[in-house]
Amino acid sequence: MLGAQGRAVHQCDRGWAPVFLDREQSISLMSVGFLLEKPDEAVVWRGPKKNALIKQFVSDVAWGELDFLVVDTPPGTSDEHMATVEALRPYQPLGALVVTTPQAVSVGDVRRELTFCRKTGLRVMGVVENMSGFTCPHCAECTSVFSRGGGEELARLAGVPFLGSVPLDPVLTRSLEEGHDFIQEFPGSPAFTALSSIAQKILDATPMCLP
Amino acid sequence: MLGAQGRAVHQCDRGWAPVFLDREQSISLMSVGFLLEKPDEAVVWRGPKKNALIKQFVSDVAWGELDFLVVDTPPGTSDEHMATVEALRPYQPLGALVVTTPQAVSVGDVRRELTFCRKTGLRVMGVVENMSGFTCPHCAECTSVFSRGGGEELARLAGVPFLGSVPLDPVLTRSLEEGHDFIQEFPGSPAFTALSSIAQKILDATPMCLP
């Protein structure tokens, strides 16, 4: 998605140097994908090995000064989530951004993730609803491909902020597929509008320590 | 999805009795969801505990005579997948049915799952592409919401059968949401047609031991 496939991680004197996405080094990245010899290799690792790597990604990568560290986890409440929460606890993370799709089956799973956050003492920054409706590019009619409103209802019941809905947007998925810079090229698209508004809400609610 | 939420699992003299979905007991079901006291409880279990439960679900449930045992796994190649493969190995499973969505990011993940199957000696019955295009109910034009053809291309490269594409179908998701019997009520819908054809291909390729 970030056009970083095949990039290599190097050892520097302060640890692993992350992969930088731009010349200004404004976005740096670390992934198990960079450590595999073959990109199609299955990471058939049991919990303890994964947990050790997650800890290393937090402590042994030369991240430098960061405004934000975003950890993209798999769905669920498993080893990876516990290892991440434990590794980040000393740094007092801002909290969890919880993403669901609108239908009941997904909302049920995500409700368990909210329970996980409460149990582990992780603040919930808010809920985002993804794949929320589809506007036909031919006739401009909007269809709820899945159901609608599950994310907002979940946030209401859990007493956490609802940050917004991101529609299914073929322009976004095509950009990621073909390596376009979605932010530069499609600032008017439905997904861009939704994502900017969500990002702004997060920034507004975040105590910043920027210079 | 199966309308079985809140149902309880009972102990019988041959082990745990699964939950039956119909009077004829033609579909039986076992899920960790039935064992939780509260349905919103997060299953915050580390690998070894999950592995032990997966083994119990295979060996300690009074399944009786089955035509098929379908195990629905989470995405990825993790503890759950290894535990499932190991628990089922003595029963010589027919193989893995691998589901992807069309876009490159998903196909990349699923390629690693095919590597996992090869490493663990699990036959791949075929690849299915899900969320494959959306036919607008207003104007009947079809849009590739994600990209298109990723599943078929993946199957071709891996040398395994491509079993078909299932479109995004609001009728299917609404049925699951509202508890309708999709198979009875919408036999003409695009998702039904696609799913029946895939099921038929699996049956045709499967050596059966039915009476």
| Partner A contacted by B37 (CB < 8 A) | no
3-state SS, residue A30: coil
User: Shortest CB distance from B1 goes to which of A39, A105, A144?
Assistant: A105
User: Shortest CB distance from B136 goes to which of A108, A141, A147?
Assistant: A141
User: Shortest CB distance from A134 goes to which of B104, B116, B145?
Assistant: B145
pLDDT at residue A41 tops 80: no
Cβ neighbours of residue B74 under 8 Å, at least 6 residues apart? A74, A75, A76, B80
Are A173 and A196 contacting, i.e. CB atoms less than 8 angstroms apart? no
The predicted complex's ipTM stands at 0.72
How buried is residue B91: exposed, middle or buried, by Cβ count under 10 Å (0-12/13-18/19+)? exposed
Mutation target to probe the B interface, by most B beta carbons within 10 A, among A36, A43, A117, A136 is: A136
Over the stretch B45-90, which tens digit does the pLDDT of each residue have?
777 888 999 999 999 999 999 999 999 998 888 888 999 999 999 9
Residue A91 is classified by DSSP as G
- The CATH fold of domain A95-210: Rossmann fold (3.40.50)
How buried is residue A85: exposed, middle or buried, by Cβ count under 10 Å (0-12/13-18/19+)? buried
Which secondary-structure segment (H or E) carries B178?
helix B170-178
Q: How far is CA B158 from CA A181, B118, B152, B155, B204, in A?
A: 31, 10, 10, 5, 21
pLDDT classification of B208: cutoffs 50, 70, 90:
low
| Partner B contacted by A83 (CB < 8 A) | no
Over the stretch A92-138, which tens digit does the pLDDT of each residue have?
999 999 999 988 878 888 999 999 999 999 999 999 999 998 888 88
The pLDDT value given to residue B211? 44
The pLDDT value given to residue A193? 93
Are A16 and A55 contacting, i.e. CB atoms less than 8 angstroms apart? no
Q: How distant is the Cα of B207 from the closest Cα of chain A, in angstroms?
A: 29
Over the stretch B19-29, which tens digit does the pLDDT of each residue have?
998 888 899 99
Higher pLDDT, A104 or A21: A21
The pLDDT value given to residue A144? 84
Mutation target to probe the B interface, by most B beta carbons within 10 A, among A5, A46, A120, A132 is: A46
For residue B46, give the chain A residue with the closest CA. Answer: A79
Residues 163-182 (B) with a CB less than 8 A from some CB of A: 168, 170, 173-174, 176-177
Q: How distant is the Cα of B135 from the closest Cα of chain A, in angstroms?
A: 9
Residue A33 is classified by DSSP as G
Q: What is the mean pLDDT of residues A188-192?
A: 90
Distance separating alpha carbons of residues B162 and B152, to the nearest angstrom = 6
| Partner A contacted by B144 (CB < 8 A) | yes
B15 has which bridge partners?
Answer: B12
User: Shortest CB distance from B44 goes to which of A39, A116, A138?
Assistant: A116
How buried is residue B70: exposed, middle or buried, by Cβ count under 10 Å (0-12/13-18/19+)? exposed
Q: How many CB pairs below 8 A link A and B? A: 129
Break chain A into its structural domains and give their ranges. 9-93, 95-210
Over the stretch A63-74, which tens digit does the pLDDT of each residue have?
999 999 999 998
Strands B124-129, A15-17: pairing is unpaired
For residue A168, give the chain B residue with the closest CA. Answer: B145
The pLDDT value given to residue B29? 95
The pLDDT value given to residue B28? 94
The pLDDT value given to residue A211? 44
Mean pLDDT of chain A: 89
Q: Which residues of B touch A134 (CB under 8 A)?
A: 134, 143, 145, 168
pLDDT at residue A210 tops 60: no
**Weakest-pLDDT range from A115-124, A189-198, B131-140, B192-201:** B131-140
The pLDDT value given to residue A100? 94
Over the stretch B82-121, which tens digit does the pLDDT of each residue have?
999 999 999 999 999 999 998 887 888 899 999 999 999 9
DSSP-based helix, strand, coil % in chain A, nearest 5: 40, 15, 45
Over the stretch B125-150, which tens digit does the pLDDT of each residue have?
999 999 998 888 888 888 888 877 88
Q: Hey, what amino acid is at A123?
A: R
| Cα pseudo-dihedral A90, A94, A96, A98, rounded to 10 | -170
Q: How far is CA B71 from CA B29, B30, B80, B112, in A?
A: 10, 10, 11, 19
Residues 100-129 (B) with a CB less than 8 A from some CB of A: 103-105, 108, 111-113, 115-116, 119-120
The number of residues in chain A equals 211
pLDDT classification of A208: cutoffs 50, 70, 90:
low
Q: Which residues of B touch A47 (CB under 8 A)?
A: 46-48, 79
pLDDT at residue B153 tops 80: yes
Q: Please tell me which of A46-50, A99-103, A162-166 the model is most confident about, judged by mean pLDDT.
A: A162-166
The pLDDT value given to residue A117? 94
